[in-house]
Amino acid sequence: MKRLDSTPKKDGFRMPGEFEPHRGSYIIWPERPDNWRLGGKPAQHVFLEVIKKISKYEPITVCVSREQYSNVLNLIPTNGNVRVVEMSNNDSWIRDCGATFVVNDKGALRGIDWTFNAWGGLVDGLYFPWDQDDKIASKMCELERVPRYRLDDFILEGGSIHVDGEGTCMVTSECLLSEGRNSTMTKRQIEKVLCEYLNCTKVLWIPRGIYNDETNGHVDNICNFVRPGVVVLAWTDNKKDPQYAISKEALEYLESEVDAKGRKLEIHKLLLPKPILITKEESLGVDAVDGTLPRQKGDRLAASYVNYYTVNGAIIMPTFNDPNDELAVKTLQELYPDRKIETVYAREILLGGGNIHCITQQVPRG
């Protein structure tokens, strides 16, 4: 397919909100034993549950390494909504390494292929190398038969942005201004690239993401657009938790801002689960490999219900076996009255460093 030298804004394309209709979803099958415990088997079964739930609502493409191909083909539900394709990868965070799709008013679809450097490259990236991950976006564009905008000199992960589809983009300064990404660029220069490729006119800069989030605080773990003008924000009322100051700072920032259309934001708090730590047993199941972030006993995981995924007609929400699980379902059901709230017990995804939103990527309906 074609590689484009223009930009989406110049060509009349925009990134739609995740809540707009999808053509389908993508996911990458997890396997690397230095990130996923016990050879990835517990995580694989949770990914399978996510795949099954998504496939009730829209087609999903499961990308899988050559080594896991037969296993996945045998495991996967054989309904017409799930297809399995071979795709080499370094890990399974397609939200971050995958294509960001844009659409125009005539129903055409195109992909953005940002440069991916494993959340910080040689500065503070989470593994080395990331060469296969950086090819995922182009492979998705080829599979979908759509032209591709490739940015060779701008590093971005899909989980570090959210858009409302009406001109507003939301990021965190912690991530977008991190040293391991585009550190030679100013904030204004970065904003200009975002606006040009996502076709936005306003960028909301939330200061920080969830406490101890190894992605340098991706926005998709702390805040999301429910629809234009309405956001959910990860929240805790426990003032002793380091998360409290982070969430409060985000709240105050968002309250002080307007979106691209000049609207004040309607902000809904989504209460976090209690802190979740890696157990000794969990830590022992992970290979220790030089150059890969270790998973150590007692490390606090960046658990957040905000890391849910919006599909056609449903929300796929992580649960943590926490008293707030039920409250999160209730909150989201009120915010999304027309969607079914589907839950997946997601500790095994969390142990790998992210959650349901991080492992999925939507292809908007063109």
- CA-to-CA distance for 108 and 101, rounded, in angstroms? 10
Q: What are phi and psi of 22, to 5 degrees?
A: -100, 150
The answer to whether residue 106 forms part of the interface with a copy of itself (CB under 8 A) is no
Question: Is the CA virtual torsion 176, 273, 92, 366 positive or negative?
Answer: negative
Per the CB < 8 A criterion, the answer to whether 302 and 365 are in contact is no
State which residue, 121 or 147, has the beta carbon closest to a copy of itself: 147
The answer to whether residue 59 forms part of the interface with a copy of itself (CB under 8 A) is yes
- CA-to-CA distance for 287 and 314, rounded, in angstroms? 36
Q: Pattern of binders to a copy of itself over 85-104, x per CB under 8 A?
A: xxxx----------------
Among 5, 78, 105, 262, binds a copy of itself (CB under 8 A): 78
Which residues face 349 on adjacent strands? none
Which of 169, 195, 223, 358 is an active site residue? 358
The answer to whether residue 80 forms part of the interface with a copy of itself (CB under 8 A) is yes
The answer to whether residue 132 forms part of the interface with a copy of itself (CB under 8 A) is yes
The answer to whether residue 109 forms part of the interface with a copy of itself (CB under 8 A) is no
In whole angstroms, how large is the CA radius of gyration of the chain? Answer: 19
State which residue, 59 or 228, has the beta carbon closest to a copy of itself: 59
Is position 358 annotated as part of the catalytic site?
A: yes
Residue 142 C-beta: closest distance to a copy of itself, Å: 5
- CA-to-CA distance for 157 and 169, rounded, in angstroms? 14
The answer to whether residue 138 forms part of the interface with a copy of itself (CB under 8 A) is yes
State which residue, 101 or 336, has the beta carbon closest to a copy of itself: 101
Stretch touching a copy of itself by CB under 8 A, among 115-123, 143-151, 233-241, 268-276:
143-151
Quick one: residue 327, left, alpha or beta (phi over 0 = left, psi -120 to 50 = alpha)? alpha
List Cβ neighbours of 329 (8 Å cut-off, separation of 6 or more).
317, 319, 341, 343
The answer to whether residue 82 forms part of the interface with a copy of itself (CB under 8 A) is yes
The answer to whether residue 66 forms part of the interface with a copy of itself (CB under 8 A) is yes
The answer to whether residue 54 forms part of the interface with a copy of itself (CB under 8 A) is no
Residue 309 C-beta: closest distance to a copy of itself, Å: 22
Token pair in block for residue 83: 């297809």
State which residue, 78 or 256, has the beta carbon closest to a copy of itself: 78
Token pair in block for residue 256: 């002080």
Q: What are phi and psi of 71, to 5 degrees?
A: -55, -45
Among 145, 188, 239, 240, binds a copy of itself (CB under 8 A): 145
- CA-to-CA distance for 199 and 180, rounded, in angstroms? 25
Stretch touching a copy of itself by CB under 8 A, among 14-22, 80-88, 207-215, 289-297:
80-88
Residue 140 C-beta: closest distance to a copy of itself, Å: 10
Q: What are phi and psi of 83, to 5 degrees?
A: -120, 150
The answer to whether residue 71 forms part of the interface with a copy of itself (CB under 8 A) is no
Helix boundaries (H) for the chain: 8-11, 41-55, 69-75, 94-97, 121-124, 133-143, 173-176, 187-198, 242-256, 280-284, 324-335, 347-350
Residue 32 C-beta: closest distance to a copy of itself, Å: 15
State which residue, 97 or 175, has the beta carbon closest to a copy of itself: 97
State which residue, 41 or 83, has the beta carbon closest to a copy of itself: 83
The answer to whether residue 296 forms part of the interface with a copy of itself (CB under 8 A) is no
- CA-to-CA distance for 299 and 113, rounded, in angstroms? 33
Binding residues for a copy of itself, per CB under 8 A? 1-3, 59, 66, 69-70, 73, 78-80, 82-88, 132, 135, 138-139, 142-143, 145, 147
By annotation, the residues acting in catalysis are 358
